[in-house]
Amino acid sequence: MNNHICSCERCQHKICAKRVPIFSTLNSEEINKVVNLIIRKRYSRGEMIVLEGSHLDRLIIINSGKVKAFRNTFEGKEQILYIFSQGDFFGEKNLLINQTAQYNVEALEETHVCTIKKNDFKNLLREYPEIGLKIIEELCNRLERLENAVENMGTKNAEERVSAVLLEFARKYGKESQNGIIVELPLSREGIANYIGVARETVSRKMNMLQEEGIIEMVGNKKVIIRNIDAL
């Protein structure tokens, strides 16, 4: 794995730390303490950041870019569990309960991360309990997402799941424009299929149908304009 230390001079370290939700309650002096603990790394698209079963000794926070967390099934198929982007974190279980990594993490694009070593992270939790509360809040959100995914697989048909994931991406990555909500898709068609548990052909067919109905407009393979989010 070809890791590079990222200097981050242009992004101003305090600004980077402040936009991480788990540090959002800290004041400037406290943010300075966090910044002094951070080690920065850069990963290229397709580079593995974490391997399932490995032992992590640090919390990893996404500064910029996107990554996917996934497992491989017994049949060798990839099942995507999460998409992490700016401000998201992972590796907390390894630090809090000494659990090995439960999934692989791979960079979907050039990604810059901030890491905090285990002992430093635990000291932060002792000194600033509100960080722990923010982490609990985010873990609850992830649990809700997984519960919704399980429910969707049991109660929604494949085409409904495609609509649901487009809405999810619109909420997380969408930008308002005159033509509608522009969404930079974090995954390919195959990746979306692996994320929601359907065939790739189903994803393509449903998106083509939505485009024919004027609900979305596809721009290349990685961008969608949602023209009628209520219909979606």
Q: What is the pLDDT of residue 5?
A: 41
Residue 225's Cβ-count burial label (10 Å; 0-12, 13-18, 19+) is middle
d(CA 226, CA 162): 13
d(CA 111, CA 102): 21
User: Taking the model in full, what pTM does it have?
Assistant: 0.80
Element (H, E) at 18: helix 13-18
Across the chain, which has 232 residues, the per-10-residue mean pLDDT values are: 42 60 82 87 96 90 93 87 90 80 94 91 88 86 77 73 92 91 94 91 93 93 92 88
Which domains are present in the chain? Answer: 4-154 (2.60.120.10), 156-226 (1.10.10.10)
Sheet holding 175-177, edge to edge: 175-177, 180-184, 223-226, 216-219
* Inter-residue contact 117 to 57 (CB < 8 Å): yes
